[in-house]
Amino acid sequence: MACFRGFRISLGLQVKELNAWKQTKQGYCSRAFRMDQQLVECREIRKPFLMNSMLVRMFSSEVSVSEQMNLIKQLRERTSAPIKDVKSSLVACKWDIEAAQKDLRKRGVVLASKKSSRTAEEGLLAIAQTEKKAAVIELNCETDFVARNDVFQYLASSLARLALSSEAPTQQIQGLFPFGPRNMEISLDHPKLSRETTVQGAITEVAAMVGENVKLRRGFALSTSSSSHGVISTYLHTCPKPGLGRIAGILTLEAKDNNASVDALQRVGSSLAMHIVAAKPLFLTKENVSSAALESERDILKTQAESSGKSQIAIEKMVEGRLRKYFEEVVLLEQKFVMNDSVNIKLVLKDLSKEVGTEVVIGNFLRMEVGEGIQRIEAEESDSVAQAT
């Protein structure tokens, strides 16, 4: 009799709870009851079974260790966020993976803003190009480990393609012009990134994923002149995958005659782009050297020559000789060709002109290296802050 009474009470509790669920008509319920001495909770309806003509899914409020590890792995694969942040969000959201993913994105924006003041001198250069135009951008992070991250590399390549497709100001259609608008729209075809966002939004999203400061530092586009027959040549050093690297050399070769062999121009152009990376030229011609840089170098050389104790005439000759050496170091056309140091770049272009039957010149060139100048800039900013305080 006592057993029958206990059964009726247990059955009554179950019916009462089921009636309450019917009245709510919601897919979620936080109420619990005892069945076979086990606490059971109804949380959501996804893989239901039939009970009293009602679809209900019930499972234990405790998540097993193996299921926890599986959820951490899934969320990590979805977001690429640090494991510590992934677990923290899952615990805060009671192991609901969808809610945890949203929580990670909210946290990421805040964390990215906090990290924005940290030094980011690692990263990658990304190049995108067509026959007549090339664009290069520098995307910085804090460590080379993040620079090897798939999402970071995808973003760098996407920004380069965006720079290539963007139009230059009217007065700068040919030649070199800067790129870097943060509010431009960008479309991303990557499972871990928002498809439609702004440049700054994409950068903030990636910074949240990798847990480091990420910055689009600079970008440039280089194009050939519309009035001549030319090619764009590029070279990337330390290249983890096509279009990415740490040092970039870009130049335009332009021929006066439209019948000049494009293959010959591209062959020599590729070698010259490699030369630019290795030789680090600062100017195209001697005439491009600024008067300030020339006077500064002349004063340094004169001071060095005067310490020799020689006559003023000898000192002047020494200064002129060393200036020629300076031009060979910093002027592209005066530099010794790295692949054949018996000739300079000027002679390489002369030989190419003979080969294609028309004059060939370098229209413009660019050399970029990841992180160059960052420490010096930040040191100057620190000094200015110290003086202000």
Q: How far is CA 287 from CA 138, 153, 256, 262, in A?
A: 29, 39, 22, 29
DSSP of 310-334:
--HHHHHHHHHHHHHHHHHHHBGGG
Q: Are 338 and 257 found together in one domain?
A: yes
What pLDDT does residue 369 have? 94
What pLDDT does residue 59 have? 39
Q: Which pLDDT band, with edges at 50, 70 and 90, does 44 fall under? A: very low
**pLDDT one-digit tens code per residue, 91-141:** 888 888 888 877 776 666 555 555 556 777 899 999 999 988 999 999 999
Q: Are 231 and 109 found together in one domain?
A: no
**Do 370 and 246 contact (CB within 8 A), yes or no?**
yes
The residue among 348, 337, 166, 172 whose CA lies nearest residue 265 is: 348
What pLDDT does residue 34 have? 42
CA–CA separation, 305 and 295 (whole Å): 15
Only one residue has tokens 């009217």, namely 170
Only one residue has tokens 């009474």, namely 5
Q: Are 11 and 104 found together in one domain?
A: no
Residues 316-329 have a mean pLDDT of 87
Q: Are 252 and 332 found together in one domain?
A: yes
The residue among 44, 41, 40 whose CA lies nearest residue 28 is: 44
DSSP of 100-154:
HHHHHHHHHHHHHHHHTTS---EEEEEEEE-SSEEEEEEEEES-HHHHT-HHHHH
Listed in sequence order, the residues at least 6 apart from 33 whose beta carbon sits closer than 8 Å to its beta carbon are 13, 14, 17, 40
Q: Are 235 and 267 found together in one domain?
A: yes
**Is the predicted pLDDT of residue 277 greater than 70, yes or no?**
yes
Asked whether residue 46 is assigned to any structural domain, the reply reads yes
Q: Are 92 and 228 found together in one domain?
A: no
The CATH number linked to 91 is 1.10.8.10
Q: Which pLDDT band, with edges at 50, 70 and 90, does 268 fall under? A: very high
Asked whether residue 366 is assigned to any structural domain, the reply reads yes
Q: Are 242 and 361 found together in one domain?
A: yes
Q: Are 30 and 69 found together in one domain?
A: no
CA–CA separation, 85 and 154 (whole Å): 22
Q: Are 52 and 15 found together in one domain?
A: yes
The CATH number linked to 332 is 3.30.479.20
**Do 248 and 236 contact (CB within 8 A), yes or no?**
yes
Q: What is the CA radius of gyration of the chain?
A: 33
Q: In the chain, where does DSSP find H-type helix?
A: 2-24, 65-79, 83-92, 97-115, 144-147, 150-165, 199-210, 262-279, 291-306, 312-330, 345-356, 374-388
Q: Are 93 and 50 found together in one domain?
A: no
Q: Which pLDDT band, with edges at 50, 70 and 90, does 267 fall under? A: very high
Q: Are 34 and 71 found together in one domain?
A: no
Asked whether residue 183 is assigned to any structural domain, the reply reads no
Q: How far is CA 74 from CA 81, 95, 104, 191, in A?
A: 11, 12, 13, 13
Q: Are 261 and 333 found together in one domain?
A: yes
Asked whether residue 124 is assigned to any structural domain, the reply reads no
Residues 212-228 have a mean pLDDT of 86
What pLDDT does residue 212 have? 85
Chain Cα centroid distance, residue 111: 18
**Do 187 and 161 contact (CB within 8 A), yes or no?**
no
Range of the domain at 262: 224-284+327-371
Burial of residue 336, with CB atoms counted within 10 A of its CB: 0-12 exposed, 13-18 middle, 19 or more buried: middle
CA–CA separation, 1 and 109 (whole Å): 64
**Is the predicted pLDDT of residue 379 greater than 80, yes or no?**
no
**Is the predicted pLDDT of residue 325 greater than 50, yes or no?**
yes
Number of domains in the chain: 3
Residues 244-253 have a mean pLDDT of 95
**Do 332 and 365 contact (CB within 8 A), yes or no?**
yes
CA–CA separation, 148 and 269 (whole Å): 29
Picking from 56, 84, 101, the residue at the C-terminal end of a domain is: 56
**Is the predicted pLDDT of residue 88 greater than 90, yes or no?**
no
Both tokens of residue 241? 């995958």
CA–CA separation, 257 and 358 (whole Å): 6
pLDDT > 90: percent of the chain: 31
What pLDDT does residue 252 have? 94
Asked whether residue 147 is assigned to any structural domain, the reply reads no
**Is the predicted pLDDT of residue 229 greater than 80, yes or no?**
yes
* Mean pLDDT over the full length of the chain: 77
> What one-letter code names the amino acid at 275?
H
**Is the predicted pLDDT of residue 175 greater than 50, yes or no?**
no
Asked whether residue 157 is assigned to any structural domain, the reply reads no
